[in-house]
Amino acid sequence: MTREEHLQFCKKCTKRELDIELGLVCSLTKRQADFSGECPNYTHDETVLEQMDDSESLDRQVLLAKVSEKALEKYRTEQNLPAAIGVGVAVGLIGAALWAAITVATGYQIGYMAIAIGAGVGISMRIFGKGIDQIFGISGAIIAILSCLLGNFFSVIASTADYENLGYIETFNIINESSLIIPIMSETFSGMDLFFYAIAAYEGYKFAFRVFTEKELGEEGL
């Protein structure tokens, strides 16, 4: 085990002792920890747990640095990528439909909807996927961007249908048959949209990962 892995236990043990030269040592041996797996003399210090932060979530990079490889493997067995992608796509579709509905109701193309979609996709993937691997964040970013594009397209369809007094499906068929999808999307796309899409992608990535507080990790002895 590495020094960092030993310290994950030593910092929470009642037998810890600070040595000026060696740092944190065991009060029984007066040496740095050298056990493998689990320490036979480990006694959990409840006061350490009480002092841990239970309000702020740890960043993924901090989590990876704080927990042992054994703990990470445990969390990986709880991951569910298909569920995360499935619910992320569903939330993205709902967000795209709401974007179109709000556009028709207000008469404006609201770019802020992209931010809401990105957050919704990421958070829903976090809840149902419990992911810690990179693929969850990448999937969240991709789904968020595609959902924003779809929301933009739905808005064009809805606005055109409302203006021409046509049905949504009828409007879509006319645009599709006329090969106008790409030209219309290009015409309605702006530099500001790119800015909002970037934020949505960032949120889809960041929020897709499972989060822990320092206290939660401490309660599991990690």
Please give the pLDDT value at position 222.
47
Residue 134 inside a domain? The answer is yes
User: Per the domain annotation, does 61 fall within a domain?
Assistant: no
Q: Are 8 and 67 in contact (CB under 8 A)?
A: yes
Is residue 88 located within the same domain as residue 190? yes
- Structural domain containing residue 40: 1-51
Q: Does 189 fall in a domain?
A: yes
For residue 190, being part of any structural domain is answered with yes
Distance CA 221, CA 71 (A): 9
Q: Cβ neighbours of residue 43 under 8 Å, at least 6 residues apart?
A: 13, 14, 15
Q: Let me know whether 28 and 101 are in one domain.
A: no
Do residue 91 and residue 142 come from a single domain? yes
**In the prediction, which pLDDT does 221 show?**
45
* 159 in the same domain as 86: yes
Structure tokens at 161: 């249908």
What parts of the chain have a pLDDT lower than 50? Answer: 53, 220-222
CA 27 – CA 41 distance, rounded (Å): 11
**Maximal C-alpha separation, the chain:** 84
Same-domain pairing of 199 and 160: yes
3-state helix, strand, coil in the chain (%, to 5): 65, 5, 30
53 alpha carbon, distance to own chain's centre: 20
CA 212 to the chain's CA centroid: 12
Token couple for 47: 């006061």
117 touches 207 (CB < 8 A): no
Instruction: Say yes or no: 45 and 115 in one domain.
Output: no
Tally helices (H) and strands (E) across the chain. 11, 2
**155 part of a folded domain:** yes
Residues 92 and 191 in one domain: yes
The pLDDT, as a whole number, for residue 119 is: 95
Tokens of 14: 């009642």
Both tokens of 119, joined, read 């957050």
Say if CB 114 and CB 189 are below 8 A apart. Answer: no
Is position 23 within any domain?
A: yes
Residue 173 and residue 177: Cα distance in Å, rounded? 6
pLDDT at position 23 is: 82
Q: What is the pLDDT of residues 90-123, one digit of tens each?
A: 999 999 999 888 877 877 767 788 899 999 999 9
Q: Residue 186: which residues within 8 A CB-CB, separation 6 or more?
A: none
Q: Is residue 67 part of a domain?
A: no
Question: Does residue 213 lie in a domain region?
Answer: no
In whole angstroms, give the CA distance from residue 117 to residue 95.
Answer: 6
